[in-house]
Structure formats: C-alpha cells, structure tokens
Amino acid sequence: MNILIFEKKPIKMKLHRPLTFALSMFVLFSFEIFAQEGYQPTAENLENREWFQDAKYGLFVHWGVYSILGGGGDTSIAEWIMNQKKIPIEQYEKLPGFFNPTAFDPAQWVSMVKKAGMKYITITSKHHDGFAMYDSKISDYNIVDATPYRKDVIGMLKEECDRQGIKLFFYHSQLDWHHPDYYPRGRTGQDYTGRSESGDWDAYIDYMNAQLTELLTQYGEIGGVWFDGLWDKPDADWRLEETYSLIHELQPGALLGSNHHQMPYPGEDFMMFERDLPGENSMGFNNTGISEDVPLEMCETMNGSWGFNIVDQNYKPVKTLIHTMVRAAGYGANFLLNTGPMPNGQIQPENVDTLMAIGQWLETYGESVYGTRSGPVKPAEWGATTRKGNTVYVHVLNHEGGTIEIPGYKPKLKSAIFLDDESEVNIKKTKDGLIISVPKEKLKPVDTVIVLTLK
C-alpha cells in the first residue's frame, strides 16, 4: 500500500482590509440602497438570457471537502456537516489534508453532461464552509494550497466546458462559517466555530468581492454567478450595489442570480426556486411570486442531499424528475438537477444512471422542452404545456386515459398529433375550451406528448 504523506500548512487569510486594484476601481463610496438600482442589462446579457431560457436543463454540482465525511451517517444535507455536527474551524481545517480527488476527470464529467442532454453546469466555487474549490490568491484556504491534490478543479472543468461547448456558472456562498470577519454572526455558524466574537464586516465583504474578482478574471467568459447565503443575515449591509456592479462590469454578459427566496432585486438577471416549482412553497422558504421580468430556474436534488451522502439512498425515480423538469418548463423555468460528487472526484454511479435515463428520454421528447417558453395553460395535476412559436406541446403526465378538459383555451388549430408516431389526436372545441381525447393505449409510461400546431 502506498501512503501519501501531506504536510499541512497553516491556513492564512491573505486579504482583510486591502483591496486588489481591479476591485478598488468599483469601491467608490458606501451605498445605502439594497441592490443595483437603475441596472440596465447589456445587449450581450439579454442575449444570454434568451440562451438560458432555451437551454432549459443544467447540472448543479455541490463538491467540497465536506464530501470526505459523506454526511456523517445522517441522511440530511451533507454539505452542512460543519454546522450540523458543530465542528470547530480548527478541526474542520484538517479535512483539506485528506482531500485528494485523483479520479476527477473533467472530460468525463462534461461528456456525461452532454449525453444527459444538459446545456450548462453550475458548480460550487465556495460553499458555506468557506473553502475555495479554485486557485485563490486571496486565501490559502483553497484546493491548490491546502490539499495534496494541488490542482485547480474549477480551472480544469472550465477548460473542458469550453472544449465541449458547455457553459459554466459559479455557485458562490455569501455566507462563510470560516472567515474571522464574518461578524456579527448570522443564523448559522455561531459559537461552536471557535472564532473570536469580533470582526470587521466590511473587511469580509472586501474579501468576498476580491474572490469574486478572481473568479471573474481567471477563467475567461462564464455563464453567471449563483449566489446563496444572504438569508443568513437578511438585514445586514451586504453592499450588493457594489458587488453586483463589480460582476456586471467584469463580465457584462454573465447572468447573476441569488437564492435569497425573494422577488429579484435590481441587478439580478434570473430568479431561482430551491426545490420548488415557481409559485409553490412546499419547502417553507420560497417566495410564491413569479417574476415576469427575468428568466426562471428551479433546482432539485436526486436524493435528499446536495453534497455527497453515503447513507442517503432515497433516490427520486427518473419519472418523478422528468415530471418535475416538464412542469418547470410549463412555468417557463429551467431545471437545475444536482449531483454531489464523491471525494475521489467521481460522480455517483446511481446519479450517472439517472442522468443517462433522462438524457435518453430527451433524445425523443427534447423538442417539447428545449427552446420552449411557458405554455398557454398553467401546469395542473394532469400535466403541463410548453410553447415554441406557433407550436404548443401538451404533456400528459398523470392521467388514466380518456378525455382531458382544458378550460379557457380556445386556439385556432391547424393540426394535433401525438409526438411519438404523428398519429392524429381527436380534439373537440367547446365554448369553454378544448377537450382532448387520449386513448388509454396511447399513454406513455412517463409523458404522453401531444403537438398542437396553431394557425
């Protein structure tokens, strides 16, 4: 057996109050407004919004040193293990010394994403534990300086995404359980961490913006930034005007979103919903409003955890995930499906199997999802509708066969066929709407797709 001996160096936070030159250009004065008031997206940004809405399907990746612990034997969300198990910083800092993902193969990852029918990847550049998964010059607490692996997985993945035509987005946590200047403490990461009860909040925002500057200047053009964690201190002065201006200045085409569970703030380019369809709030923290001004996206897990969890085998059926994707598309929203890679850098085989099955379904039915917008009929128990030009796709998801009544929808139809075999669909127009006849023998195991061509 070969044993790798790795000398762990003390973690140094290289930036507290000083700013990089690139960042200092945007720090002109202290803003009191909450976000980027008066923001006008560039033509490139608007074009990317259209691309985003056409893409419809992406891979969410939660990967970090927390994956080593695999959830700690609990079935709850594994990337929160530092907070859930109340692991002090001094002890948690030992984890990077064990993180050596030698099986990480970015070409394999991106090829899998393409085969699954996905168009983009959103990966954790830094989660709530404060550990950077890229080559940060601002702090040694990163995968290059603090692990035996010593490689920039974000940079490697970005190069492969560029080669294979997949856009890369960065998830970035505004919340930080590790940084000494994240003070006053928020709702999480409090006295167990071992941090002194003091700190400079502005110094922390400077640090966060400096790391964002690195991410926005080291890897070429990116898809966007997916923020999370503002809910930890909702009333704090996050200096969003400054941060949002920084992002839009350095990457005018990048799409910016924040998982703050509210309607979009000025300066945000898309609205997200965590484990809920737009307008729903089964999780108890999502906003039930739906923005009509920016693209929408919902994210979901394959089991119960975002990060790798070795005991959580409660995987959602492929059919359930496809139904969620279709219903999301019915609201005009993208579907961002998550995987938590294992600590060795490989994607769980169970997740790969699920992604391949969804990809196979999309090979036949993708036209009813990609490039579509919300359908003329709001998703209902029986299914959903999507729209593309003068074509409407009716997705029959939960039905035993017979007739489906769609009240209030009275289009002028040119034709109505089943997508699979192009056979004619019997449709009756009434004063109240449409009645679609779906014989039981025509029902498909996952989704019976009917194509309505309008005059």
9, pLDDT greater than 90: no
77, pLDDT greater than 90: no
Q: How confident is the model at residue 368 (pLDDT cuts 50, 70, 90)?
A: very high
Question: How far apart are alpha carbons 33 and 329 in whole angstroms?
Answer: 34
Question: How far apart are alpha carbons 5 and 345 in whole angstroms?
Answer: 20
pLDDT value, residue 29: 33
**What percent of the chain shows pLDDT beyond 70?**
93
Mean pLDDT of the region 222-244: 97
Indicate the burial class of 274 (C-beta count within 10 angstroms; 0-12, 13-18, 19 or more).
middle
Q: Which of 19-33, 229-243, 434-448 has the lowest mean pLDDT?
A: 19-33
pLDDT value, residue 281: 87
pLDDT value, residue 33: 43
Question: How far apart are alpha carbons 239 and 208 in whole angstroms?
Answer: 11
Task: Copy the structure tokens of residue 234.
Answer: 């909702």
pLDDT greater at residue 23 or residue 390: 390
Indicate the burial class of 111 (C-beta count within 10 angstroms; 0-12, 13-18, 19 or more).
middle
Question: How far apart are alpha carbons 84 and 183 in whole angstroms?
Answer: 20
pLDDT value, residue 17: 34
- How far is it between the farthest Cα atoms of the chain? 77
Q: What is the pLDDT of residues 293-322, one digit of tens each?
A: 999 999 999 999 999 999 999 999 999 999
Identify residue 81 by its one-letter amino acid code: I
Task: Copy the structure tokens of residue 349.
Answer: 């085989």
412: closest CA among 424, 427, 423?
427
